[in-house]
Structure 1
Amino acid sequence: MNSKVGCSSEPSGCIARISARHYGYRLALLRGLLVVTLLGFPVLRVPPQQIDMDALSAEEEFRWGVRAFQNARYNEAIMSFEQSLAHRPDVPIVREWLGRAYYYSGFYEPAIDVWETLIAEGYGHNRLANRIELIRASQGVGPETAPEDRYVVSAEINGRQADQVVFQRPTSVEPLANGSFMAASYGTHEIHVFDANGVVIQTLRGGLEGFNRPFDIARDRSGRVYVSEFGADRISVLDHAGRRLFSFGGRGIGEGSFLGPQYLTLDDEEFIYVSDWGNRRVSKFDREGGFVLSFGRPRAGFSGLSRPTGLVYLDGYVYVADAGNQAIFVFDTSGNYVRSIRELGLTRPESLSAYTGGRLLVANGSEIVLLDPERETVRRDFDLDQPPSKITSVQVDANGNIITADFDADKIMVLSPMSSLYAGLDVRIDRVNSDNHPEVLLEISVRDRSGRSQLGLGTPNFVITEDAGGILQGPEVIFAGHERSPVEAAVVVERHSSMAAYSNEIRRVTEDLLGTLGSNARSFVVGGEEAPGIVAARSESNSDKARAAAGGDYHESAAVDRALRLAVGSLIDSPAPRELVLLTDGAAKEDRFSSFGLQETLQYLHVNDVRFSVVYLESGIAVAELEYLVEETGGRSVYAFEAAGLAPFVDHMLARRTGRYVLRYVSAKDTEFGRRYIPLEIEVAHLRRTGRDETGYFAPLRF
């Protein structure tokens, strides 16, 4: 077991290591003075009785505490900062760092107490007050934007930029999981991919055949892209890289043919629905283009579609906008008419898309409407700088913004919640790696004030300043949590005596889980004994991990919180998405969180961006405490032997994207052989929102 894991679970075990480290540090300090002398720098000769040993010890402890913190050894950092303050209790920066170490250890209240005392003394008011406000407001993953919050324009992308036509007559936007989005340029027969800053990063033209009036875009879970071509009366299917695979449809009035296909949607089984303007119907196809059925013709109790436009699948039903009837019609997936939604001021409904809480975003002529289909009520909470001409698409992107396409005005608009523009971004510098100074690596996380990760940021969004000096422009982004990468996964096996009878099931489930994850995860196994430990490292085979998970000793104590903290301590070695899975029988146990407490465990998971999930070995079980952690961190709980297997559970793990970034830059600061504390600040700007954070670091000692 490495020292970091041991310190995360056994604070007392850190003391001996710290003492030994401090002895080595003092020896290194003397050697450093000798090196300075040999290099020709003057050495101040001070009589021994005039040396302030308290100041020297305080600085030594502070330096070690900062280095321990930057290596995610938070317990060691806390003890070093406390020892530094024992020598010099009046140093504000050490107290601020102590609060930071409490915070990252999941102990929010001690952190707030330290920071509020500093604020009362006139130190770091705005910075610390902002962090306290965010802690107080945090609720697990973060609440959804309140429905009454108004949206305002935060960015506009014009089709004509300078003397160049970038796009013309945009008909559709399709958000991507990494914060970027696709847009169909009807007028130039192209599809563009824009990054989160609105810059074109890829253009698709449909290969040798080309696109003919591309209208709408949809994607399935595998990354396939479906494009409706209004001019060619067909649907083209592209792979995830934009290469054409095949097309289906063709001009005609027969089943499976089109006369002006427009909008697309996919259901849970990935059947494709196409609104056919000329044939006044909706057609359903399988993912290979095989025709299944069509609907929308008149029948008893239903007068038929007139001008079908937008459509969306939601909760088992297909909603179809009809501009001719000024209504939205609801069908089941077999094409049976269910009901209509009328008389809500929908004069020209076009695009439909899913919003939170079972609601729909509707592009209604020159406005955006939020529709509650159950209550049949609408809200108009979208302020546009000027009335648009004709909105043909409205979608929610991965960052919680709303993207719209204005067909006649040749522009794409991004709208953001008004409260988020005023509140700004929540930016945290989590770790600084200066081991190879002057190269410095900065691990940061970026969220909005409700806790939603901000995805798709790049070099232009970051500005770094060291020691209040010159701005270091253009840090290199070497890791971005919005790009697909192997996840870090910890499997924790509860080792209460009630689990002893499940050794075969534990082995089978662990091997199945890790096998389904495959090369998409770096995993290890933690045994939840009285003294928890890593029983199978990342380097071991899945079969060895499964055997280790099923082995070990079982005890009457069920204090699983110690094992969870140990697992988190090892997960944070990497900036990759962090997943923690607990295997349990779900039996009633009162002491699961007796060592650290349920709320402190949640806070430790949350501040370190770890998602918690549960696999139950018995069906029909739901432990309230565990389900609370699952819900608040965005995880899932599942019965191990569901008919569908663990594949959907694993898919949820692998689909995760985070707002975590690692930036690399070259420092111009003199570290004074590793003894100088270098303050550091970062500012992040995106869509009229900014956020900043401050920290500092020591480079390694060099002699």
Structure 2
Amino acid sequence: MRPVALLIALVLGLGGIAFAQESGIGGFDRDALAAREEFRLGVQAYNRSAFNEAILSFERSLSFKPGEALILDWLGRAYYRSGMEDTALRQWRSAVDAYGPSSRETLVLSSRIETVRNRRSLFPSLDDEIRYVEAGTYPGLSGDIRIYRQPTTVLPLDDGSVWVVAYGSNEIVRIDVNGIVRQRQRGPLNGFDRPYDMVRGQDGRLYLSEFRGGRVSILSSQGEWQGYIGSKGRGEGMFIGPQNLTIDAEGYLYVVDYGNKRISKFDPDGAFVLSFGGRSEGFAGLLSPTGIVAREGRIYAADSLARRIYIFDSNGDYLGILISEGLRGPESLTLLDDGRILASDANRLLIIDPNSALIRELGLLGNPRVRIAGARADGNGNILAANFEGDEVSVMTPLDDMAAGLFVQIERVISDNFPRITVEVQVQDRRRRPIVGLDARNFLITEEGRTAGERNFLSAAFLSETSDISILLDRSPAALSMQPDLNVAIRDIRAAGSRIVSLISAGEQPLRERIEGSAPSLSALTAAARGSSSSYSLRWRFDMGLRLAATDLLNGAKKRAVVFVSSGNLGELAFEQYGLSELAAYLANNGIIFYGVMLGGNPASEEIRYLCEQTGGQVLSLYRSEGITPVLKGLNTKAVGSYTLSYRTGLPTDFGRAYLPVEAEVYLMERSGRDATGYFPPIE
């Protein structure tokens, strides 16, 4: 091809993006050519997760082509992933103005702006007014096909699916987020006999009460029957109509024995411990016990006939009444992550604060036939309500989330195997909570409005059992005096089993300590962590060290965390270059969890606690009785809303200089979301 022809091809090969236009005097706009080249470099840097490099390229591109909507859009993306959300929002608003009010790009971008802006000001509290509405159902009857009958409770799983306990059809049924039945279990040879409630023990085993069978079945984590606890009768450890169950912090099982009007306690191996709930001094006794939940050494038990919730200690001693008014007929009680209690009460879902005894109505079912026998929160921010009378499980979603839809981000486009394109998509709700359990049916990939060809669903990160950790080391003089504790911390972090990507020394000039491979020996890792006395300084830099530690995780496993080993105080230069909110956003917007490991029994600073809260992490004292290893092992089971798909593009490449668009749409029941981006193919 002649040089002139090649130049024309490069200028025009932009996939419809008008960077280069004729100058009007027979030549070409050199500024537009320069803008296009810098834009191409910026897109490629972004897809390598080199966000600072991408920002520089997009800024240079804008200097040649001010006000170009697509460049502004991408610049906002790069600032967002860098944690600079205010700057990102400004760029996106400018892009909306440049795109125009009626363009398809404006619709996508406006939704993104609204979600990010609202999310940054959303801090739900106990007195908020969030309402849950029905977003869909898992029906027991589909046409003439009976799926299950009379659900009494649900047990959400980490993969987004849920066990439905079907009292009427004597089975438990596992249903995925799309309402597809994945598994059925009907128990041993003689089957379940009116199963009622199910909970998960600390070892992963499941316990299933059988109302008419007068027993509790022990199941494996996969639902296979293993044995029984108890039998029908009135003696110790026996039942007449066992219903609701709960597990306390020590692994003890509590069973509501409806027919005997009592609660029985069993150790983790199923041995009977004691019963309580009968008449005693100051307590008339349970009349119709239903829901039960354990919290901080106390047992809360609902009584549907008395319309009350009582309090006992773990030894069965009566402590008083939590709720005496405002209930219609309470059934299930479930402990939420924030310490509040979710209660089902006739056709209502209630939130109860055990500290203040305040009740707030969360939502209700308006179906003609309603009795919510059980309700639990799932990992996607929903509440699943088992409607016994209506023969279905209702999926209840916050009203605002229904309106906002799903927050979908195409995080990365990989074109190395062109024309086979790989797309990494992040799916969250508007509060940054990951949406798990999706599969190929939930995604639509399009190019220029046409469905992409040869689509494949490659992976879902929530199913992965691998994780990456970057260790960040406090290099303050205070940390220097805590070397024995540091050795213990490094040992326990290594024992968690995650791949150690890097060891960052946060000195005056943060640097990567040298470690060999992803599984270095404990002695080598400990020696590198100790460093030398010159590594420690009053001018140590937490902010720069954290950025470096987080950056090392960007192209690794989707389950990832920075583990900060600290004396507890961040020093005077902690936020000299990067602010606290910017650091929190950098971690959260890239799916990185922050853990603070405290040496010497010292408390964590407010800044460390903030970073943990904003990213789903935790402050860990090195002296906690169970150690820090179990918590860090939990990284492998963290919910992650990242999905990888591939397709074969049919778009022309123009010698690798064309900007090729791609759009991802995600659908889940009544909610949806989409994102549009693009990429450059390899230069031919």
- TM-score (normalised: structure 2): 0.90
Matching residue's letter, 2:81: Y
Alignment partner of 1:499 is 2:476: no
Structure 2 gap ranges (5+): 14-22
Deviations 1:538-577 (A, max 9, x none): 5241422222111253334211211211111111113522
| 1:658-673 aligned within 5 A | 658-673=640-655
Contact 1:485/1:576 (8 A) holds in 2: no
Task: Choose which of 61, 76, 81 in structure 1 pairs with 2:53.
Answer: 76
Match of 2:547 in 1: 565
Cα distance in structure 1, aligned partners of 2:477 and 2:350? 56
Flag the 1:639–1:313 CA change in 2: closer, same or farther, 3 A: closer
Cα distance in structure 1, aligned partners of 2:226 and 2:519? 40
Alignment partner of 1:171 is 2:152: yes
Cα distance in structure 2, aligned partners of 1:122 and 1:67? 23
Deviations 1:585-620 (A, max 9, x none): 234611012122323222211211211121122223
Matching residue's letter, 1:100: R
Contact 2:466/2:557 (8 A) holds in 1: no
Match of 2:385 in 1: 404
Match of 1:295 in 2: 276
| 1:20-31 aligned within 5 A | none
Matching residue's letter, 2:420: E
Secondary structure (helix, strand or coil) at the match of 1:65 reads helix
Contact 1:141/1:634 (8 A) holds in 2: no
Contact 1:366/1:388 (8 A) holds in 2: no
Task: Choose which of 158, 163, 173 in structure 1 pairs with 2:139.
Answer: 158
Match of 1:686 in 2: 668
Task: Choose which of 562, 566, 573 in structure 2 pairs with 1:580.
Answer: 562
| 1:195-214 aligned within 5 A | 195-214=176-195
Match of 1:67 in 2: 44
Match of 1:226 in 2: 207
Task: Choose which of 375, 391, 412 in structure 1 pairs with 2:372.
Answer: 391
Match of 2:505 in 1: 527
Matching residue's letter, 1:481: A
Task: Choose which of 425, 435, 457 in structure 2 pairs with 1:477.
Answer: 457
Contact 1:484/1:657 (8 A) holds in 2: no
Matching residue's letter, 1:255: E
Cα distance in structure 1, aligned partners of 2:119 and 2:93? 18
CA apart distance, 1:275: 0.7
Contact 1:139/1:632 (8 A) holds in 2: no
Matching residue's letter, 1:88: K
Cα distance in structure 2, aligned partners of 1:341 and 1:83? 63
Alignment partner of 1:636 is 2:618: yes
Alignment partner of 1:596 is 2:578: yes
Task: Choose which of 83, 101, 104 in structure 2 pairs with 1:106.
Answer: 83
Cα distance in structure 1, aligned partners of 2:296 and 2:123? 23
Flag the 1:50–1:120 CA change in 2: closer, same or farther, 3 A: closer
CA apart distance, 1:407: 1.7
CA apart distance, 1:442: 1.5
Flag the 1:125–1:271 CA change in 2: closer, same or farther, 3 A: same
Match of 2:520 in 1: 541
Contact 1:586/1:618 (8 A) holds in 2: no
Contact 1:524/1:537 (8 A) holds in 2: no
Flag the 1:503–1:304 CA change in 2: closer, same or farther, 3 A: closer
Match of 2:588 in 1: 606
Q: Matched residues, percent identical?
A: 37
Flag the 1:279–1:675 CA change in 2: closer, same or farther, 3 A: same
Structure 1 gap ranges (5+): 1-25, 37-45
Deviations 1:453-473 (A, max 9, x none): 2221222211111123x1248
Task: Choose which of 185, 192, 196 in structure 2 pairs with 1:215.
Answer: 196
Flag the 1:382–1:388 CA change in 2: closer, same or farther, 3 A: farther
Flag the 1:501–1:343 CA change in 2: closer, same or farther, 3 A: closer
Contact 2:198/2:207 (8 A) holds in 1: yes
Cα distance in structure 2, aligned partners of 1:384 and 1:346? 16
Q: Which shows bigger deviation, 346-355 or 682-691?
A: 346-355
Matching residue's letter, 2:575: F
- Over the residues paired in the alignment, what is the CA RMSD in angstroms? 2.7
Matching residue's letter, 1:306: L
CA apart distance, 1:359: 3.5
Flag the 1:391–1:376 CA change in 2: closer, same or farther, 3 A: same
Match of 1:17 in 2: none
Flag the 1:372–1:588 CA change in 2: closer, same or farther, 3 A: closer
Contact 2:69/2:96 (8 A) holds in 1: no
Matching residue's letter, 2:462: H
Cα distance in structure 2, aligned partners of 1:115 and 1:59? 19
Cα distance in structure 1, aligned partners of 2:127 and 2:447? 38
Cα distance in structure 1, aligned partners of 2:27 and 2:646? 42
CA apart distance, 1:413: 1.1
CA apart distance, 1:385: 3.4
Flag the 1:546–1:50 CA change in 2: closer, same or farther, 3 A: same
Cα distance in structure 1, aligned partners of 2:646 and 2:188? 37
Cα distance in structure 1, aligned partners of 2:175 and 2:39? 45
Match of 1:437 in 2: 418
Aligned length: 659
Flag the 1:85–1:369 CA change in 2: closer, same or farther, 3 A: closer
Flag the 1:171–1:115 CA change in 2: closer, same or farther, 3 A: closer
Cα distance in structure 1, aligned partners of 2:151 and 2:387? 6
Cα distance in structure 1, aligned partners of 2:215 and 2:454? 44
Q: Which shows bigger deviation, 637-646 or 251-260?
A: 637-646
Task: Choose which of 277, 285, 294 in structure 2 pairs with 1:304.
Answer: 285
CA apart distance, 1:133: 2.8
Contact 2:410/2:675 (8 A) holds in 1: yes
Task: Choose which of 20, 31, 34 in structure 2 pairs with 1:54.
Answer: 31
Cα distance in structure 2, aligned partners of 1:309 and 1:474? 52
Secondary structure (helix, strand or coil) at the match of 1:287 reads coil
| 1:612-623 aligned within 5 A | 612-623=594-605
Contact 1:141/1:452 (8 A) holds in 2: no
Alignment partner of 1:513 is 2:493: yes
Flag the 1:385–1:205 CA change in 2: closer, same or farther, 3 A: same
Cα distance in structure 1, aligned partners of 2:217 and 2:537? 60
Deviations 1:475-531 (A, max 9, x none): 54333233252221110112234433344432332122111x12x445431122333
Cα distance in structure 1, aligned partners of 2:656 and 2:446? 19
Secondary structure (helix, strand or coil) at the match of 2:471 reads strand
Q: Which shows bigger deviation, 542-551 or 498-507?
A: 498-507
Cα distance in structure 2, aligned partners of 1:232 and 1:83? 73
Contact 1:179/1:482 (8 A) holds in 2: no
Matching residue's letter, 2:623: F
Match of 1:91 in 2: 68
Secondary structure (helix, strand or coil) at the match of 1:482 reads helix
Secondary structure (helix, strand or coil) at the match of 1:117 reads helix
CA apart distance, 1:417: 1.4
Deviations 1:602-656 (A, max 9, x none): 2211211211121122223322322222222222122323333223432453442
Q: Which shows bigger deviation, 316-325 or 492-501?
A: 492-501
CA apart distance, 1:284: 0.4
Contact 2:492/2:629 (8 A) holds in 1: no
Q: Which shows bigger deviation, 583-592 or 299-308?
A: 583-592
CA apart distance, 1:331: 1.0
CA apart distance, 1:395: 1.4
CA apart distance, 1:317: 1.6
Secondary structure (helix, strand or coil) at the match of 1:571 reads coil
Contact 2:72/2:94 (8 A) holds in 1: no
